[in-house]
Structure 1
Amino acid sequence: MAIEKVSIVGMGSLGLIFGSLLMDRLGRENVQFVMDEKRLKRYSGVERLINGKRYDFNLASGNEEGEPADLLIFAVKSTGLEEAIQTVRNRVSGDTIIISLLNGITSEKIIGEAFGEEKVLYTIAEGMDPIRSGHNLDYTKMGLVRIGIDQETEGKKRKLKEVLEIFDRTGFPYILEDDVMQRLWSKFMLNVGVNQVLMIHEGNYDTIQKPGPAREMMIAAMREVVQLAEKESIRITEEDINYYVSLIDSLNPEGMPSMRFDGLNRIKSEVELFSGMVLELGKKHGVPTPINEEIYNRIREIESKY
């Protein structure tokens, strides 16, 4: 089955970057942002500038009966995942394929429990450097999606083939991963270091691109994830750390991750997804994680003042 209809839940940076690309290639009628009534009322009639190009996106309420999506993309934050799952229930059929662009290592499992794990492919979004201003967004690097399957079943292979076909047809940037779980954990390691440290230090990427305490804390936090990955039978090496540090060094110095935006807007962050998960896994395996414990406590202290 060729994928024609794409639904996206989440109008953050990732949703807008990839949603605008898909709309350009597939047409407005085939790419739809699904949301609750409150957001629909807020966003209806709002035009957005993405890298200077004006977009009038196709918006729809999840409460309304609508044509099921061939491909459903989750592009919300982890704190909004459960709500998003309820929002898009009317857009999921037996043939719908689902991918998640969320940070962390748990969203695919949660989505699979809601809609069936056979529908879910594993994806990791990385390498983008968005700068947001109101409803508008600019970026110098679109980034890409790493995609793969967790089980070598015929159903998963077929779904992967269908998604790769639409990616190729639309010029959607991706890398096919042989070991997608290793890549998922590697991205988790990156987020644990980068997102949290920039929230604590109230900085842009520039803050961790130069030598100093922030960069040292970032790398130390990442190394604690490497120890835990080994306990979970996931192989991450110093080479992976070096790759991701180099990736961060290549981004727009003025850019920042979503967690930093949360701090600026005094919104509860994804700290439980990052250092919270590290602490949980550390206790499970008896592995000390003092850097992430410090990070966790400092972010909780920051958020206690909201």
Structure 2
Amino acid sequence: MGGKTVSIIGLGALGILYGQHLSHALGKDRVKVIVSKERKARYEREGVTLNGEACDFTYVLETDRGNPSDLVIVCTKSLTLESGMNSMKYQVGPETAILSLINGITSENILGARFGQEKVIPTVAIGMDATREGQNVLSKVKGWLQIGADVPEKLDRLNRVKEIFDEAGFPYVVEKDIMLKIWEKFIMNVGVNQVVMVHETTYEGIQTGGAYHEQARAAMHEVVEVAQAEGIPLEETHIQNAFDIIDTVDPQGMPSMRQDGLAKRKTEVALFAGTILEKAKQYDLETPVNKALYQRIKEMEKTF
């Protein structure tokens, strides 16, 4: 197997979207989708498609103790991160770089505690509209990854990730202040994902203004207050930046939380409003919009 290798952990919408790009660009022998024995049998039996095109992935069992990968991309949900880390343990070696595409602001620290903080390159997945329907993912906009080194010691590892992405023609941007970018994505998740979920709408519901749009904006404002208390230079202008990005995606698309709701799966509300409520308590801040969103989503989950 020549060239640097990539492992994909979690074959949801992003795992399929980016796994397909990397497999096409680098060759399927260099891109491994790490799975359990049961999932391998199901994927090979039922197939996986992107916009109707079959994905010819190389499935590798999580028990395989072969050579570790140069890059591991974690595409699980936050609720399944623990099992994802168990699946990827044999893919992580001393020089491996780990990227997390999980929403929120906590997964990097969790991965770093397990595998070493020096291996984790902070990452934000932005601008995509991938929606999974069964074993097929629909996507009109691929989006891009924002990556960066939060400490100088990670610059060499970051450069190795850049080399892989450059070879693959993979969409990415290196950000000087990657932690700010993580909070910028977080502000979008807190406002957009939760409001679309609560009102059972699509992106169109918040793109067009009106009550849903204003509720999302108010939820984002509370994130700004919490971020500033944490020393993160998030500002009101970042709220409009988030809406500018959302306005570019398919109006009939839906964020991951709404997709979870439709599938009757537990959502990542603890990752969004739950995190804000916890941090607001720490800083003695009032966050009534996120409190209301949290309570409503938890009520909806009881019907699943």
C-alpha distance after superposition, 1:238-262 (max 9, x if no partner): 2211111011111101101111111
For the residue of structure 2 that corresponds to 1:44, the secondary structure is helix
Aligned pair 1:138/2:138, yes or no? yes
State how far apart, in whole Å, the 2-side matches of 1:257 and 1:73 are. 20
In structure 2, the partner of 1:262 is 260
The aligned amino acid for 1:170 is: A
Q: Which residue number corresponds to residue 242 of structure 2?
A: 244
Partner in structure 2 of residue 160 of structure 1? 158
Deviation at 1:91, TM superposition (A): 1.1
**More deviation in 167-176 or 289-298?**
167-176
**In 1, Cα distance between equivalents of 2:3 and 2:109:** 23
Residue of structure 1 equivalent to 2:220: 222
Q: CA deviation at 1:3?
A: 6.0
Q: Could you tell me how far 1:143 is from its partner in structure 2?
A: 0.3
TM-score normalised by length of structure 1: 0.96
Paired residue for 1:81?
Answer: 81
State the alpha-carbon separation in 1 of the partners of residues 189 and 113 from structure 2. Answer: 24
Alpha-carbon distance between aligned partners in 1 of 2:235 and 2:56, rounded to the nearest angstrom: 44
| Identity among equivalent pairs (%) | 43
Q: 1:133 to 1:283 in 2, by over 3 A?
A: same
- Consecutive unaligned residues of structure 2, counting only runs of 5 or more, are none
Contact 1:45/1:56 (CA < 8 Å) preserved in 2? no
Deviation at 1:66, TM superposition (A): 2.3
CA distance in 1, matches of 2:219, 2:254: 18
Aligned to 1:67, what secondary structure does the other structure show?
Answer: coil
Root-mean-square deviation (Å): 1.2
Counterpart for residue 127 of structure 1: 127
Distance 2:217 2:176 in 1: 26
Aligned to 2:193: 195
**8 Å Cα contact 1:6/1:32 also seen in 2:** yes
Length-normalised TM-score, structure 2: 0.97
What amino acid maps onto 1:300 in structure 2?
K
Secondary structure of 2:295's counterpart equals helix
SS state of the match for residue 158, structure 1? helix
The more displaced of 283-292 and 55-64 is: 55-64
Q: Which residue in 1 is equivalent to 2:295?
A: 297
Counterpart CA distance in 2 for 1:179 and 1:78 is 23
Conserved in 2, the CA contact under 8 Å of 1:108 and 1:120? yes
How many residue pairs get aligned? The number is 303
Question: Which contiguous aligned blocks of 4+ residues in structure 1 show a shift greater than 4 angstroms?
Answer: none
> Following the alignment from structure 2 to structure 1, what is the Cα–Cα distance between the partners of residues 292 and 233?
25
Task: Classify the secondary structure of the residue corresponding to 1:145.
Answer: strand
